């Protein structure tokens, strides 16, 4: 009896992406049956574990298929009868295939069976004599990227081997802070990676890679040290082949914006920056001469295997007058109106950013003259992610119409490192080819693609001696439902399931705080309180724990406890956040003079703190000084036009001055930017009141109804609605609204107006 092989697991997103999809195939088979994996003429590495064979059959009556792999007239696997549209050879069968003579042509055949064969298809493949011989390290991320940022513990760093039948294992997970780009030395002994530490986006770990890889405080540097603490990402850093140096993009500005499309959910690229090197031996930072012209953005560096040169991407830079931002992508330090218009021009693709690849001598850190790489520059396209093969023979890079990172139209392009033309690889996939890495033997390239849908998956292709490549092998074992795989990298070491990365820095105060913040976002206030309490007990000399715990006390209206914590925080550090929060506590307890003093101290600490101006406006309004209130609130909005509370407060002042048109606009802006669900009905009610004062009763009624949808148990909304209905002559509707208000426990005014027809 023939053994039946069942389809154990193929992700739903893969099935959807493969249905009828054969971009490397010729005509489909007969009877509506089409093999979707592997592609025609695929070349598998000698050491790959048995791959997945997948097909689609358009005949719904067919429930079983016959499969076999043959070499000429000799069957090496099967025939087998299977009951799913996917099959994987057994370990023994696949071993007989890979142990055949190199270059032997194999044919995979599948037959749709009813009482006889009614459909069939076949595809050919070979096995290369070249093994991969290295595991792959990759970051696995849920989408969209905004969700990943807000749920960082869901991001995982996994590694696996194409030779193993097991799925990859997690080296690092449950990290409550952001980790990102990484690189290894060619010998696989050193790992360098972005890891936010001490609330610093410029933090960077350089550590030994082994079965127990520790991410500890003494292995973490900060790129912001180079620029005296000013914000930087330390973007797209790369460790040198000898492990002594790391090169990164500093003094940087980025477009960093979320997009609604799950497939391309972020636009991120630098538009200003220079290359800076960190010398681990000398513990010093220095600019790389020749790649530090501030008229250009210089980014995305990559070392040649001998460490003698660096390739990087270069384009004309954009500066503050045009971009509205000084450094990083932090709105706090931006002219937001200018920046938002600047950002929109790129998201709408009215403006484009095209990078050229340059090569510069490292010269023991002295730098030199950067020259454009022929075929990777001056071609009217954007060229980025240069990676040189370990043997120094080939340069592979991405090419797209514009930008870098996550470009749907990006293709992989190959050129000789010596003289020779650049050409697009024959077997790119149709949707995003990026995040590529060379195997240590320079024979294989792993890359990411969105061919099967929005969740980026890994593919493997052989680079032939003449620079051509083979149809890609889908690494299905690296796929996990609802996760995208990016930044894959071969590691020149033996694979072991026992490898783990241990984030021992998480016991430091900032990471206790970060964990508490994550718990707050999930609604676990008690857990967050415990985390902040733990941070205070373990690090009593650090202010952040007192500040965060004090905020919870404030939310609970435990004002004496909140004030005590905020005083403790301010004794340790004079920070505008702490002054503003203490000012709010004083406002809540009626200590107006003390509140005003704290808000003014916040502005001395940070003159751009819009919250301090906003609360000073509230105080002026309460004191009857409308002129000062308007001045303070307008200043707050000039600094940060997205603060709904400032718009709300401004609208209240304008309404009190009978400036109903201006108040309506303010409440509209407040509603647009409001992320507090409890506040949104109030903003709609106030906007409705403005419309009513402007005799726009229908508009007022629309706002009141919208507010009721958000807060259906608020009696005041029904009262306001009834008033608008009375003025519109809708007596019956007004009576119902007033009855609803009474039912909800309010005591609305007499409805005699109804009888009088008013």
How confident is the model over 200-212, as pLDDT tens digits? 788 899 999 999 9
Contacts (Cβ under 8 Å, ≥6 apart) of 206: 190, 191, 192, 219, 221, 239, 246, 280
Q: What pLDDT, on a 0 to 100 scale, did the predictor assign at position 327?
A: 74
Residue 102 within any structural domain of the chain? yes
Statement to judge: residues 67 and 155 lie in one domain: no
CA distance 512 to 545: 9
Tokens 């009614």 correspond to: 118
Q: What is the pLDDT of residue 153?
A: 84
Residues 299 and 389 in one domain: yes
* The pLDDT value given to residue 349: 94
pLDDT tens by residue, 550-578: 999 999 999 999 999 999 999 999 999 99
Question: Which 3 state secondary structure label does DSSP give 308?
Answer: coil
Q: What is the pLDDT of residue 756?
A: 37
In 132-262, which ranges are continuous DSSP H helix? 145-150
Are 605 and 575 spatial neighbours (Cβ–Cβ below 8 Å)?
yes
Give the residue among 257, 295, 289, 255 at the shortest CA–CA distance from 273: 295
Above 50 in pLDDT, residue 396? Answer: yes
Count Cα neighbours of 607 within 13 Å in the Cβ-side half-sphere: 0
669 occurs within a structural domain: yes
pLDDT at 546 over 80: yes
Out of 105, 127, 149, a domain closes at: 127
Find how far residue 93's CA is from the centre of its chain: 41
CA-closest candidate to residue 716, choices 729, 706, 707, 728:
707
Q: How confident is the model at residue 521 (pLDDT cuts 50, 70, 90)?
A: confident
Non-local CB neighbours of 180 within 8 Å, separated by 6+ positions: 139, 193, 194, 487
DSSP conformational letter for 364: G
483: domain CATH number is: 2.120.10.30
How far is residue 531's CA from residue 516's CA, in Å, rounded to a whole number?
5
Are 483 and 512 within one domain? no
> What is the span of the domain harbouring residue 708?
507-755
CB 215 within 8 A of CB 503: yes
Structure tokens at 605: 């600490």
Asked which of 127, 153, 175 is the last residue of a domain, the reply is 127
For Cα atoms 393, 398, 400, give the angle at the middle one, nearest 5 degrees.
150
Q: Are residues 60 and 151 in the same domain?
A: no
Query: What is the residue-averaged pLDDT of the chain?
Result: 90
pLDDT digits (tens, 9 = 90+) for 452-502: 999 999 999 999 999 999 999 999 999 999 999 999 999 999 999 999 998
∠ CA 504-509-514, rounded to 5°: 90
What's the pLDDT tens digit per position in 168-207? 999 998 887 778 889 999 999 999 998 876 667 888 999 9
486, HSE (Cβ side, Cα atoms, 13 Å) = 20
Q: Is there a single domain that holds both residue 299 and residue 170?
A: yes
Residue 616 sits in a domain whose CATH number is 1.25.40.10
Domain boundary among 506, 535, 569: 506
Residue 302 DSSP SS3: strand
- The structure tokens 């650090």 sit at 542
Residue 251: name the closest of 293, 219, 283, 280 by CA.
293
Please tell me whether residues 522 and 498 are part of one structural domain.
no
Q: Which two tokens stand for residue 382?
A: 């954007």
Cis upstream peptide for 150 (omega within 30°): no
The whole-number average pLDDT for the span 88-103 is: 92
Out of 17-31, 328-342, 510-524, 698-712, the most confident range is 698-712
> With bands split at pLDDT 50, 70 and 90, how would you rate the model's confidence at 755?
very low
d(CA 305, CA 463): 18
Q: pLDDT band for position 536 (50/70/90)?
A: very high
Query: Torsions phi, psi of 696, nearest 5?
Result: -95, 75
d(CA 612, CA 577): 9
- Asked if residue 6 is part of any domain, the answer here is no
CATH number, domain containing residue 55: 2.60.40.10
Tens digit of each residue's pLDDT (9 = 90 or more) over 407-452 = 999 999 999 999 899 999 999 999 999 999 999 999 999 999 999 9
| Structural domain includes residue 741 | yes
Is 7 domain-assigned? no
Q: How confident is the model at residue 519 (pLDDT cuts 50, 70, 90)?
A: confident
Where do the H-state alpha helices sit in 330-407?
Answer: 336-347
d(CA 485, CA 170): 13
The pLDDT > 70 percentage for the chain reads: 93
- Comparing CA positions, the residue from 288, 312, 291 lying closest to residue 404 is 312
Average pLDDT on 543-547 reads: 93
Order of strands, edge to edge, in the sheet holding 423-424?
382-388, 394-400, 411-416, 423-424
Per-position DSSP letters for 693-754, written without gaps between them: HTT-HHHHHHHHHHHHHH-TT-HHHHHHHHHHHHHTT-HHHHHHHHHHHHHTT--PPP-HHH
Listed residue (159, 179, 177) closest to 168, CA to CA:
159
pLDDT of residue 3: 32
Could you tell me if 314 and 443 lie in one domain?
yes
Beta-strand pair 296-303/356-361: unpaired
Least confident segment among 217-226, 427-436, 468-477, 749-758: 749-758
Tokens of 256: 């960093």
Phi and psi angles of residue 73, each rounded to the nearest 5 degrees, phi first? -100, 5
Structure-token pair, residue 138: 């990759």
Give me the pLDDT at residue 509, please: 62
d(CA 715, CA 703): 15
Burial (Cβ within 10 Å: 0-12, 13-18, ≥19) of residue 274: buried
User: So what's the pLDDT on residue 18?
Assistant: 41
Closest by alpha carbon to 168, among 135, 208, 190? 135
Q: Which of 56, 161, 150 shows the shortest CA–CA distance to 492?
A: 161
Q: Are 175 and 503 contacting, i.e. CB atoms less than 8 angstroms apart?
A: yes
Q: pLDDT per residue over 116-169, tens digit each?
A: 888 999 999 999 999 999 999 999 999 998 888 888 889 999 999 999 999 999
Question: How many independent structural domains does the chain possess?
Answer: 3
CA–CA separation, 615 and 599 (whole Å)? 7
For the record, the structure tokens of 537 come out as: 């007990």
The CA distance from 344 to 331, in Å, is 14
3-class secondary structure per residue, 225-287: HCCCCCCCCCEEEEECCCCCEEEEEEEEEEEEEECCCCCCCEEEEEEEEEEEEEECCCCEEEE
For tokens 């000799």, name the residue.
Answer: 74
CA distance linking residue 589 with residue 742, whole number of Å: 33
CB 361 within 8 A of CB 309: yes
Is the model's pLDDT at 23 over the cut of 60? Answer: no
d(CA 668, CA 436): 47
The two beta strands, 309-316 and 473-474, are: unpaired
* 75 shares a domain with 18: yes
Burial group, residue 403, by CB count within 10 angstroms (0-12, 13-18, 19+): buried
**What is residue 461's three-state secondary structure?**
strand
Do residues 512 and 502 share a domain? no
User: Do residues 519 and 527 make contact, with C-beta atoms less than 8 angstroms apart?
Assistant: yes
656 in a domain, yes or no?
yes
pTM: 0.77
Cα 407 from Cα 404, distance rounded (Å): 6
**Distance from C-alpha of 562 to C-alpha of 512, rounded to nearest angstrom:** 20
pLDDT bin (cut points 50, 70, 90) of residue 333 is low
Residue 243 main-chain phi, psi, to 5 deg: 80, 5
The edge-to-edge listing of strands for the beta sheet with 156-160 is 169-172, 156-160, 136-141, 484-490
Q: Are residues 77 and 216 in the same domain?
A: no
Q: Are residues 574 and 621 in the same domain?
A: yes
User: How far, in Å, CA of 346 to CA of 369, rounded?
Assistant: 31
Could you tell me how many residues make up the chain? 758
Cis peptide before 38 (omega within 30 of 0): yes
| β-pair type (212-214, 500-502) | parallel
Please write the tens of the pLDDT for every residue from 256-289.
888 888 999 999 999 999 999 999 999 999 999 9
Per-residue model confidence as pLDDT tens digits over 577-626: 999 999 999 999 999 999 999 999 999 999 989 999 999 999 999 999 99
- Tell me if 5 is assigned to some domain: no
390 and 419 share one domain? yes
Cα 281 to Cα 188, 301, 304, 305, 626: the distances in Å are: 19, 20, 20, 20, 61
What percentage of the chain carries pLDDT values higher than 90? 75
- Given a cut of 70, whether residue 693 has pLDDT beyond it is yes
Supply the pLDDT for residue 538. Answer: 86
**Does 1 map to a domain?**
no
Give the residue, 105 or 78, on which the prediction is more confident.
105
Tell me, what's the pLDDT at 30?
Answer: 82
């Amino acid at each position: 009896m023939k053994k039946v092989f069942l389809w154990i697991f193929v992700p739903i997103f893969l099935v959807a992406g493969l249905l009828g999809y054969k971009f490397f195939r010729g005509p489909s088979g007969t009877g509506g049956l089409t093999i979707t994996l592997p592609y025609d003429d695929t070349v598998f590495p000698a050491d790959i574990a048995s791959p997945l064979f997948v097909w689609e059959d358009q005949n719904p009556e067919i429930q079983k298929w016959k499969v076999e792999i043959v070499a000429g007239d000799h069957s090496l696997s099967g025939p087998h009868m299977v009951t799913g549209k996917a099959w994987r050879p057994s370990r023994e069968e696949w071993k007989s295939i890979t142990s055949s003579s190199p270059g032997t042509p194999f044919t995979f055949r599948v037959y749709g069976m009813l009482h006889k064969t009614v459909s069939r298809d076949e595809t050919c493949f070979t096995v290369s004599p070249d093994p991969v011989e290295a595991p792959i390290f990759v970051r696995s991320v849920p989408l969209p990227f905004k969700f990943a940022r807000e749920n960082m513990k869901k991001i995982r760093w996994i590694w696996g081997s194409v030779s193993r039948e097991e799925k990859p294992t997690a080296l690092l997970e449950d990290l409550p802070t952001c980790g990102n780009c990484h690189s290894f030395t060619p010998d696989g002994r050193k790992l360098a990676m972005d890891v936010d530490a001490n609330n610093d986006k410029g933090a960077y770990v350089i550590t030994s890679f082994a079965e127990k890889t520790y991410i500890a405080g003494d292995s973490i540097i900060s790129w912001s040290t180079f620029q005296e603490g000013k914000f930087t990402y330390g973007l797209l850093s790369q460790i040198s082949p000898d492990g002594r140096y790391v090169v990164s993009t500093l003094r940087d500005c980025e477009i960093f914006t979320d997009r609604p499309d799950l497939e391309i959910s972020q636009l991120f690229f630098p538009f200003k920056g220079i290359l800076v090197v960190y010398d681990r031996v000398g513990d010093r930072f220095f600019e790389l001469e020749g790649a530090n012209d501030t008229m250009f953005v210089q980014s995305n560096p990559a070392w040649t295997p001998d460490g003698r040169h660096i390739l990087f991407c270069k384009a004309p830079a954009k500066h503050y007058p045009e971009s509205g931002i000084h450094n990083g992508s932090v709105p706090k330090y931006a002219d937001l109106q200018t920046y938002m218009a600047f950002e929109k021009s790129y998201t709408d693709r009215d403006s484009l950013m095209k990078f050229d690849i340059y090569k510069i001598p490292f010269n023991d850190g002295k730098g030199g003259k950067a020259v454009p790489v022929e075929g990777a520059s001056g071609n009217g396209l954007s060229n980025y992610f240069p990676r040189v093969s370990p043997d120094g023979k080939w340069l592979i890079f991405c090419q797209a119409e514009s930008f870098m990172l996550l470009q749907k139209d990006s293709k992989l392009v190959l050129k000789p490192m010596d003289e020779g033309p650049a050409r697009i690889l024959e077997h790119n996939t149709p949707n995003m080819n990026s995040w590529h890495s060379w195997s240590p033997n320079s024979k294989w390239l792993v890359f990411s693609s969105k061919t099967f849908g929005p969740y980026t998956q890994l593919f493997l292709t052989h680079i032939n001696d003449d620079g051509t490549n083979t149809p890609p092998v889908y690494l299905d074992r690296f796929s996990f439902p609802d996760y995208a795989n990016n930044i894959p990298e071969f590691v020149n070491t033996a694979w072991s399931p026992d490898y783990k990365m241990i984030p021992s820095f998480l016991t430091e105060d900032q990471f206790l705080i970060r964990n508490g913040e994550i718990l707050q976002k999930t609604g676990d206030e008690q857990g967050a309180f415990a985390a902040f309490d733990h941070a205070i007990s373990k690090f009593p000399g650090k202010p952040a724990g007192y500040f965060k715990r004090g905020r919870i006390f404030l939310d609970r209206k435990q004002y004496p406890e909140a004030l005590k914590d905020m005083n403790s925080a301010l004794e340790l550090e004079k920070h505008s956040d702490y002054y503003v929060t203490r000012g709010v506590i004083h406002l809540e307890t009626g200590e107006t003079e003390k509140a005003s003093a704290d808000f003014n101290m916040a502005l001395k600490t940070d003159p751009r703190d819009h919250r301090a101006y906003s609360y000073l406006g509230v105080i002026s309004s309460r004191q009857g000084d409308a002129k000062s209130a308007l001045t303070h609130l307008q200043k707050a909005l000039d600094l940060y036009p997205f603060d709904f509370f400032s718009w709300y407060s401004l609208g209240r002042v304008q309404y009190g001055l009978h400036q109903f048109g201006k108040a309506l606009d303010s409440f509209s802006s407040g509603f647009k930017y409001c992320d507090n669900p409890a506040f949104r009905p109030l903003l709609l009610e106030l906007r409705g009141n403005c419309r009513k004062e402007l005799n726009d009763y229908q508009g007022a009624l629309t706002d009141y109804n919208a507010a009721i949808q958000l807060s259906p148990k608020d009696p005041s909304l029904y009262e306001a609605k009834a008033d608008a209905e009375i003025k519109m002559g809708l007596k019956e509707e007004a009576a119902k609204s007033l009855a609803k208000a009474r039912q909800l426990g309010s005591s609305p005014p007499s409805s005699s107006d109804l009888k009088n027809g008013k």
